[in-house]
Structure 1
Amino acid sequence: MATQGNHSPFMLKAMACSAGIFLVAGAVINLLDTYLDLTLLADATGWLLSFWDWLLLESPVPNWSLLMIIAILISTLSVAIYYARMTDGAYGELHEIERKVYKKNNPHFPQLTDNQTLLMEALAYHANFRKVANLNSICKLVSLSTLEVEAGLKQLQAKRLVRQKVTRGTFGATIFELTLAGKDYALERLELT
């Protein structure tokens, strides 16, 4: 609290603002009176005086208290609507996070080991750039041995995420590609574009 003789800065600012408002309002009214015909201002003053008389009428419930109750109800409703709209986005984000956690904990896709996940990322990379995924290119991309890659690809084939194609002819090769379930897995779990 401010001691006697010392005024709080808030009090000084409030007094300065109110004095400034009265000075500006008086200057504006004098300028408008000088340069414009103010019959509208006289009419508005008449309406305001009539409204003031209505507020001061004697009745079982004074009119001013009725207006205050209506103003409180409207302001309470406005605040409620504001907070409801403001928190709506937060609840949407929370719902999205909960959905991701639920999907991660209750997957409709099989759980993969780290090597299998690496192989899925490599195959998704090949599919994304329309490259042929053979055993050598996958080994180079994931930095695993050929035996590890072969074992991981067989496990992914057993889970029906990857399929193997063998081409015949002079330049026959074995290529690997994602199945539809593998593509869904890559899109959802690996968050690829």
Structure 2
Amino acid sequence: MAAQGRHSPFRFKVMAYPAGIFLVAWAVIKLLDTHFDLTLLADATGWLLRFWDWLLLETPIPNWSLMIIAILIGTLSAAIYYARITDGTYGELHEIERKIYKKNNPQFPKLTDNQTLLMEALAYHANFRKVANLDSICKLVSLSTLDVEAGLKQLQAKRLVKQQVTRGTFGATTFELTLTGKDYALERLQLT
């Protein structure tokens, strides 16, 4: 619509409100000045006239101060932009360095392939809150019972697995990860 010669009433409203405020202030000052003899009103009138002259300037703030403000805003914007860009990069780089350091300086003992399979099976059971007994572990890793028993004993010696034996009518032997075993599973096996 503006391209066809019609102007938006928004501009008129923007100009009308300050003009109305100025006229009301001027009228109040004139009325008070005629009915009351106050020197403060003369000073206020002078201040309002200087303020009005300042508003009517093409640039109410000197150009050099506008340039300083523009430079400060531009510098701040660039700093925020580069801080956001590099923040993710340094975070990823730090994470990669941490993984390399932990692989080169292991805090956990080295495990054989069978022991790693058993740790994965126990982590699977813990993840789905299943009871890990000897039969369920054997089925999951496809190893013989002797291999599984030997591997679990080695893991118990390394304090990664603990064995719980219950007595009675429904007695059973279950295995679960210790806190160190859970840390190992989270760190090395990439489980959630």
Q: What residue in structure 2 maps to residue 28 of structure 1?
A: 8
2:132 is paired with a residue whose SS is coil
Root-mean-square deviation (Å): 3.9
Q: Residues 48-67 of structure 1 correspond to what in structure 2 (within 5 A)? A: 49-52=56-59, 63-67=62-66
Q: After superposition, what is the alpha-carbon deviation per residue over 1:58-78, rounded to whole angstroms, capped at 9, x for unaligned?
A: xxxxx5345324422331232
Q: Does 1:127 align with 2:123?
A: no
Give unpaired runs (5+ residues) of structure 2: 23-51
User: How many residues get paired?
Assistant: 163
Name the CA distance, whole Å, in 1 between partners of 2:111 and 2:128. Answer: 23
Counting aligned pairs with the same residue, the percent is: 72
Whole-Å separation in 1 of the counterparts to 2:136 and 2:78:
61
SS in 2 for 1:80: helix
Q: How does 1:82-161 map to 2 (within 5 A)?
A: 82-161=81-160
Change (3 A) 1:70 1:38: closer
For residues 3-35 of structure 1, the C-alpha deviation after alignment (integer angstroms, 9 at most, x for no partner) is xxxxxxxxxxxxxxxxxx9x5898237x855x8
Equivalent in 27, 30, 38 of residue 16 of structure 2: 38
Question: Structure 1 residues 70-79 or 166-175, which shifts more?
Answer: 166-175
Task: Give the alignment's TM-score, normalised by structure 2.
Answer: 0.62
Q: Deviations over 1:69-122 (max 9, x none)?
A: 442233123212232234223323332333233333322111222221110111
Q: Residues 176, 76 of structure 1: CA spacing in aligned structure 2 closer, same or farther, 3 A cutoff?
A: closer
Distance 1:164 1:141 in 2: 18
Letter of the 2:16 partner, please give it. L
Normalising to structure 1: TM-score of the pair?
Answer: 0.61
Q: 2:8 is paired with a residue of what secondary structure?
A: helix
1:189 aligned onto 2:188: yes
Gaps of 5+ in 1: 1-20, 56-62
Specify whether residues 169 and 81 from structure 1 end up closer, same or farther in structure 2 by C-alpha distance, changes over 3 A only. closer
Q: Partner of 1:144: helix, strand, or coil?
A: coil
Q: Which amino acid aligns with 2:57?
A: S
CA gap 1:70/1:170 in 2 versus in 1, 3 angstroms: closer
CA distance 1:28–1:175, shift in 2 (3 Å) = closer
| SS across alignment from 1:27 | coil
Q: Give CA deviations for 1:107-157 in whole Å, capped at 9, x if unaligned.
A: 211122222111011112223444332322211011122232223222212
